[in-house]
Each structure stands twice: as structure tokens, then as C-alpha cells.
């Protein structure tokens, strides 16, 4: 049986995803570059979606749903807090929301 290797997406990974996605890279190519599955990238893009004041999704210049790495990181941290874990417990390359 092959052991699974799990990798947390760090804030710097999220910034790289944002830059590559903005440059119109395919999620499969982004996944290969970061060493994760394509499904991981699609989940990450969903996590970082932004909505306008009317609740409609914001589109980027490529007419795709916009991805914001800060929003994605904040959602991850909120999930960790909700589950009773801090990012320092298991998240490499933690994120300081005060630094933004």
C-alpha cells in the first residue's frame, strides 16, 4: 500500500496560484507546477472566489471567476479556528493577516 503524502497550500502557494491563474494558466498546469492534484487547485480556486456587493461572482480579465489569495487564506484560517487548531499546529508558511 502506498502512503499518501498530504501538502498544505501555503500563502505563498496561493499567491503563485493567483499569478498563474491571472496569466491564464490552466488549473492542470498550475497543479503540476505546485505538485498537487488538479482537484486541489479547483478547490482552492473555489475557496478564493470573491463576490460583488450584489452577491454575483466577480470575474477577472479572462472572464473567469476571480481568485483572491487573501480571501482563500482567511477562509482556511477561519476553518482552523472553527476546528480548534491554529495554523501553527500544522500549516507550514503561516499567514499573518495583520501584515496585509
Is the pLDDT reported for residue 48 higher than 60?
A: yes
| Contact (CB, 8 A) for 37 and 6 | no
For residue 18, what pLDDT band results from cuts at 50, 70 and 90?
A: very high
Question: Residue 22 burial (CB < 10 Å; 0-12/13-18/19+)?
Answer: middle
Radius of gyration of the chain (CA): 14
Residue 59 to residue 62: CA distance in whole angstroms: 8
Q: Which residue has the higher pLDDT, 37 or 6?
A: 37
Kindly report the number of other CB atoms within 10 A of residue 9's CB atom. Answer: 23
Amino acid at each position: 500500500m502506498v502512503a499518501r503524502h498530504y501538502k498544505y497550500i501555503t500563502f505563498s502557494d496561493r499567491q503563485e496560484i493567483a499569478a498563474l491563474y491571472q496569466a491564464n494558466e490552466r488549473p492542470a498546469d498550475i497543479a503540476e507546477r505546485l505538485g498537487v492534484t488538479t482537484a486541489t487547485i479547483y478547490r482552492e480556486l473555489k475557496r478564493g472566489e470573491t463576490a460583488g456587493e450584489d452577491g454575483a461572482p466577480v470575474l477577472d480579465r479572462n472572464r473567469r471567476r476571480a481568485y483572491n489569495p487573501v480571501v482563500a487564506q482567511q477562509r482556511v484560517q477561519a476553518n482552523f479556528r472553527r476546528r480548534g487548531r491554529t495554523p501553527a499546529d500544522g500549516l507550514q508558511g503561516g499567514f499573518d493577516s495583520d501584515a496585509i
